[in-house]
Amino acid sequence: MSLNATDRRVYDPANDTLGWTSQAGDRQTVAVTDIISEGPIAGLVEGGQSVFVNNDPLMAADQSTYEAVEGGKVTTTSGSDQATVAAPRGSEFTIKHPETGTRFLMLMGAYSMKATISQVVPSQPIGTTNAVTGIAGIPLGGRIDLTRVSGAATDDSFNHSLAEHAELDLGTRLVADGSTVAQVKLPETSGGGIIRGSIVGMSDGANTFSLLYRNSIAALNLFNTLDTNGTTEHDVTIDLFLEIEAIDGRTLTLENNAPLTFEGKFAITPAIIADNLSESNIALHNSGSAKYPGSSFQFRTGTLIQEPISALEGTGSSSVNLLSSALIMEENSAQTITYSQTAAAEIDEIKLLFSYPQGLYCFSETSGRNYPSAAAYKVEFCPVKPGVTDQFIIINGGYTFSGTPCFAHGGTHTSGVVFQSNFSVEPFKPFASIKIRITRLTKHDQADTSPVGVPEWPGLGYSGKSRHKGIYASSVTSALGIVKENLNYPYTAYANVAFSSKSFSSMPKRTYDCQGLKVLVPSNYTTREEANSDQAVYTGFWDGQLSTEKVWTDNPAWVFYDILINNRYGLGDFLEATDIDHFSLYKIAKYCDELVPDGKGGTEPRFRANLYITKATDAFKILK
């Protein structure tokens, strides 16, 4: 059951899941989620350029992220700044270096080791108050304590500070040359999932360290007693990021010499202009494309443990009203919203609407000309917890007024206008109820004739011109608590595409160029994709053993075998592997892989199976 790498399927808009959000602007952002298939699948063939809207790649070659599928490898040499890409069979590798921004090469599994687990501590607050975010500890996820047994040596450069992990937990992570992401692979008895996170407490030569993870379901639902007995060995791998200086075809020039010799799977980040990148961006999430401004995509390959799709700001599965009546906002006068209903504990995000019924601007009394003006607000959040003294924490709204982090609005809006401001409260969980305190930091009254003038936009400073009068009376007309369903949909491959209504006046058709379901193959078999050749490779005699890891192949024999033994979408509940004649299938598989004339002067495999089954069908018909 594989997807043809050249077959682009179109999804019916009737099956779309839409997310809408209203921003302070003249456009809307639309997000649509498409279910691709059962998982895990190999993934997108050309990264962001394999996501099509109306048959046009969503991402430009110099903006798109890229993650190599079967057969895609990069080679680095220790002490050299050159890296060479071997593109997957059927892939052209058209990724380019951006004119602005920085890309990073991600060496996937650059370092690997075997380690035992002594304990898993779920839902533990990690660290002290973060000076940047003001958050006292990060309660999401937990900690896995490990002891290295063999493999790569421990290195203190793999560590992350608690502040960096706090940023990771907030959805952002600093990407820099030499930074890392680590993962622990669970045994097949626990589902074979991968838990990603940050390494802490590792030092040169010392074998004990910990991995801090975000996925709170991992420790609670996936580990069993044998996994944490201190004896069972687990695979621990560490992905390494190296800054790219230039891209010339399939040759990457690195900013610094590579610290190791490596040949294996890789990914390339999108062009990063800011200082941080969403953790989900590291694996096929891209935003800020120059081709379609405001567009982005997220892709999940359908593993057992996978990050939930990041929702559009201000959207969720439901919301609760936190405000019974509008709050008039006056300078240096705080307004407090308290919500203590049962639903408070479920709130993930706060959405505030600031209304300026007469507009937001200023004018000169002498010339009569209009100018842009501004309003700034300090927003504080208090997570109310039993037995804990209330503490209000200032939320960073992206602006600063007189040294205070704040939310701000501005422009020359000569008629009524509404601005929306959102902030996440997930990092503050758990809490029983919430309080929000909003203080206007700037003038609110046109009658104020003080010589400082009016607040300017941009800059959030006062004009110093007393002849300027401002129109900026405001109120908070709505406060909503957004409840999100942070579901990761295990074993479901799906994509989420977001775009601006300015780019598309109607819902575009989405198509995806993918390699499909991964399946088990003989242990001595190298697929055409892995060999990066038209000819599959059979090495020596086969002992009847299958591969330990699933791979993508379109060989009909192993697609057939996967349908027979899979207990989710196949006949695995009715058949055992011992019921199947593996050696006869092996002969059939070799026959299918033999090259025959393609009628165009070349050769092709005798038989291939590229099936895309979109509805429940009788198993016998599928096999036939």
DSSP annotation string for 426-485:
GGG-S-SEEEEEEEE-S---TT---TT--BBTTT--B---TTEEEE--EEEEEEEEEE--
Across the chain, mean pLDDT equals 82
User: What is the SS3 assignment for 29?
Assistant: strand
Integer Cα distance of 107 and 127 in angstroms: 29
DSSP class of residue 522 equals B
Which one-letter amino acid corresponds to residue 231? T
Considering only residues 70 and 516, tell me which one the structure prediction assigns the higher pLDDT: 516
Q: What is the mean pLDDT of residues 417-439?
A: 89
Integer Cα distance of 379 and 334 in angstroms: 9
Angle at 498 between CA 492 and CA 502, to 5 degrees: 160
- The per-residue pLDDT for 164 is 61
pLDDT tens digits, one per residue of 226-278: 788 888 899 999 999 999 999 999 999 999 999 999 999 998 988 776 443 43
Between 18-32, 138-152, 282-296, the lowest mean confidence (pLDDT) is in 18-32
pLDDT tens digits, one per residue of 160-169: 876 565 555 4
DSSP class of residue 229 equals S
Q: What is the mean pLDDT of residues 468-488?
A: 88
Considering only residues 45 and 217, tell me which one the structure prediction assigns the higher pLDDT: 45
In sequence order, which residues have a C-beta less than 8 Å from that of residue 574 and are 6 or more positions away? none
Q: What is the mean pLDDT of residues 403-432?
A: 89
pLDDT tens digits, one per residue of 338-391: 999 988 988 988 999 999 999 999 988 888 899 999 999 999 999 998 888 888
- The per-residue pLDDT for 163 is 56
Integer Cα distance of 330 and 332 in angstroms: 6
pLDDT at 429 over 90: no
Integer Cα distance of 278 and 281 in angstroms: 5
Integer Cα distance of 92 and 511 in angstroms: 19
Residue 16: pLDDT band (50, 70, 90) is very low
pLDDT at 485 over 90: no
Residue 127: pLDDT band (50, 70, 90) is very low
Give exposure, 560-581, as e/b (b: 16+ Cβ within 10 Å): bbbbbbbeebbbeeeeeeeeee
Integer Cα distance of 547 and 523 in angstroms: 4
- Distances in Å between the alpha carbon of 420 and those of 67, 331, 407, 478? 35, 19, 10, 9
Give exposure, 357-383, as e/b (b: 16+ Cβ within 10 Å): eebbbbbeeeeeeebbbbbbbbbbbbb
Pair of tokens at residue 424: 């996440």
Contact assessment for residue 186 and residue 202, using Cβ atoms and an 8 Å cutoff: no
- The per-residue pLDDT for 74 is 94
In sequence order, which residues have a C-beta less than 8 Å from that of residue 529 and are 6 or more positions away? 69, 70, 71, 88, 89, 90, 515, 551, 552, 553
Contact assessment for residue 301 and residue 413, using Cβ atoms and an 8 Å cutoff: no
pLDDT at 304 over 70: yes
pLDDT tens digits, one per residue of 158-197: 988 765 655 554 344 557 788 888 888 877 666 667 788 8
pLDDT at 479 over 60: yes
What's the CA dihedral at 112, 200, 305, 309 to 10 degrees? Answer: -120
In sequence order, which residues have a C-beta less than 8 Å from that of residue 1 and are 6 or more positions away? 37, 38, 516, 517, 519, 559, 562, 563, 569, 611, 613
pLDDT tens digits, one per residue of 581-603: 999 999 999 999 999 998 999 89
Long-range contact set of residues 451-456: C-beta below 8 Å, sequence gap at least 24: 454/362, 454/373, 455/373, 455/374, 455/375, 455/376, 455/410, 456/371, 456/372, 456/373, 456/374
Q: What is the mean pLDDT of residues 96-100?
A: 82
pLDDT at 322 over 90: yes
What burial class does residue 7 get, using C-beta atoms within 10 Å of its C-beta: 0-12 exposed, 13-18 middle, 19+ buried? middle
Q: What is the mean pLDDT of residues 66-85?
A: 91
In sequence order, which residues have a C-beta less than 8 Å from that of residue 84 and are 6 or more positions away? 74, 75, 250, 251, 252
- The per-residue pLDDT for 9 is 34
Q: What is the mean pLDDT of residues 316-334?
A: 89
Q: What is the mean pLDDT of residues 543-558?
A: 92
Q: How many CB atoms lie within 10 A of CB 446?
A: 15
Helix, strand, coil percent content, the chain, rounded in steps of 5? 10, 40, 45
CA nearest to 116, candidates 150, 155, 152, 146: 146
Integer Cα distance of 49 and 47 in angstroms: 5
CA nearest to 440, candidates 411, 415, 460, 425: 460
DSSP state letters, 388-409 = S----EE---SEEETTEEEEEE
Residue 27: pLDDT band (50, 70, 90) is low
Contact assessment for residue 174 and residue 132, using Cβ atoms and an 8 Å cutoff: no
Residue 311: pLDDT band (50, 70, 90) is low
pLDDT at 290 over 70: no
Pair of tokens at residue 285: 């999430």
pLDDT at 15 over 50: no
Integer Cα distance of 207 and 204 in angstroms: 8
Considering only residues 195 and 550, tell me which one the structure prediction assigns the higher pLDDT: 550
Matching residue, tokens 């033994």: 565
What burial class does residue 6 get, using C-beta atoms within 10 Å of its C-beta: 0-12 exposed, 13-18 middle, 19+ buried? exposed
What angle, rounded to 10 degrees, do the helices at 582-593 and 556-565 form?
Answer: 150
Q: What is the mean pLDDT of residues 75-88?
A: 93
Ramachandran sector of residue 332 (left: φ over 0; alpha: ψ -120 to 50; beta: rest): left
Integer Cα distance of 452 and 457 in angstroms: 15
Structure pTM? 0.71
pLDDT at 32 over 60: yes
Residue 136: pLDDT band (50, 70, 90) is very low
pLDDT at 130 over 50: no
In the chain, the percentage of residues whose pLDDT exceeds 90 is: 42
- The per-residue pLDDT for 476 is 96
Q: What is the mean pLDDT of residues 311-338?
A: 85
Contact assessment for residue 406 and residue 419, using Cβ atoms and an 8 Å cutoff: no
Residue 314: pLDDT band (50, 70, 90) is low
Integer Cα distance of 540 and 55 in angstroms: 44
